[in-house]
Amino acid sequence: MARLFGTDGVRGLANGDLSPELAMSVAAAAARVLAEHDSSHRPVAVVGRDPRASGEMLQAAVAAGLTSAGADVMQVGVLPTPAIAYLVGELNSDLGVMISASHNPMPDNGVKLFAAGGQKLPDTIEDEIEAMVGVTVDRPTGAGVGRIYDISDALDRYLAHLHKALPNRLEGLRVVVDCANGAAWAAAPQAYREAGAEVIAIHALPDGENINDGCGSTHLEGLRETVLAEKADLGIAHDGDADRCLAVDATGEVIDGDQIMAVLALAMKESGELAEDTLVATVMSNLGLHLAMREHAVNLRTTAVGDRYVLEELRAGSLSLGGEQSGHVVLPAHATTGDGLLTAMRLMARISATSRSLADLAGVMTRLPQVLVNVKVADKAAVATSDSVSSAVAAVEAELGESGRVLLRPSGTEQLVRVMVEAPSHEMAEAAAQRLVGVVSAVG
């Protein structure tokens, strides 16, 4: 059977494969596993959600599951995922539960768990929880049943935390923020205004059904148009649960996660905050980021795709900055997971401190044209061990030299091989990619 937990919790079609019964069972199992690991006190869980309609149903199910297993629940309402991670530590709780499907469309939802301190749950603990799902056990009664409390100042606590991480005020900046009709709809505009920026908020009226609907970090057209129309200094786009941040400069050009990391890395190196003068990114980050960091004497470590691998590398090396091209950026000194609001505030602080435009700052990195093709194959393993594929890759790499890059990556969930080529021009990248696609198709 497929593993219940994916790379970002349990996710699926709300009231379909992600039923309230499943959410309740996962929550109860999590509480029981926590109690087994530490029986010294009654477990306490922080529970939040994004504004999609099914979140109300699933929050009720999660709260029921936790309390039925003897855990107390602190409900914090609609808040970004990174706020839940922060509040787990701030409120000295044992578990965090975020009900969200991030950038997925509205019908989907998910249950994401955080360990004490706001860290991601280790795989071993997820496995223990999964093994307990659906298992019939004796449940507490009477005073042993958990209680539910509403935390009224959760947003204020999170915003205070964000402002402590801000190196300077944002006065003079005019920013458009696209809240994706999601979890950041209230938090992001308030955070940026309180830091001194003039804020124009769009897609900040969630109705339970419009989250990520033609807006947010996966649909930047509206943000670009508004930045130009309002003559703003920049635009910020969040996804449904606000753990990501992409930007748009004053001319309407998109600034992706790689460029944001480049700006932050140089700022942190200058201030002495960049541990080991090292940035962590995934193998999918653009070659332009590698070249820019090399030019400015910043080491770049790469990991497999996925924020959990970035987090593991950051923790293993006690490093201070990492992330993904998608805009998922982690600053471990201030957050245990990607925080789109924190990223945006640090980016804007750099603009304000230097009096330079975002376009100028992001110009430190030149994005090379990138072509990505998903190739359906019958056998991923055959492609991985094929001599003809290896020879074709080597030939393309020799042609591109240091001005380009090739990456072949099997999908973790499907019979697909992802062929990615970066080159000085789109035409060169497309031609090289198609050559490799032909070889991969013939083998697979």
Segment (H or E) for 112: strand 108-115
Residue pair 95/115 in contact (Cβ under 8 Å)? The answer is: yes
Within 10 A of 152 (CB to CB), how many other CB atoms are there? 9
For 166-306, list the strands marked E by DSSP.
174-178, 198-202, 234-237, 246-249, 254-255, 278-282, 299-303
Within 10 A of 443 (CB to CB), how many other CB atoms are there? 20
Kindly give the residue spans of alpha helices, DSSP state H, lying in 272-405: 287-295, 307-317, 340-354, 358-362, 380-384, 387-400
Cα distance between residue 63 and residue 49, in whole Å: 12
69: nearest Cα among 36, 47, 92: 36
Chain centroid to CA 135: 32
Torsion of CA 27, 29, 34, 39, to 10 degrees: 120
Segment (H or E) for 115: strand 108-115
Sheet holding 322-323, edge to edge: 299-303, 278-282, 322-323, 329-330
Count Cα neighbours of 66 within 13 Å in the Cβ-side half-sphere. 27
Count Cα neighbours of 44 within 13 Å in the Cβ-side half-sphere. 17
Count Cα neighbours of 83 within 13 Å in the Cβ-side half-sphere. 30
Strands 95-99 and 44-49: parallel
Within 10 A of 220 (CB to CB), how many other CB atoms are there? 19
Torsion of CA 126, 128, 129, 134, to 10 degrees: 140
The residues assigned a catalytic role are 102
Cα distance between residue 118 and residue 102, in whole Å: 18
Residue 76, C-beta contacts closer than 8 angstroms, at least 6 positions apart:
46, 47, 48, 83, 84, 87, 151, 154, 155
Q: Which residues of 187-198 are buried (b: 16+ CB within 10 A; e: fewer)?
A: bbbbbbebbbbb
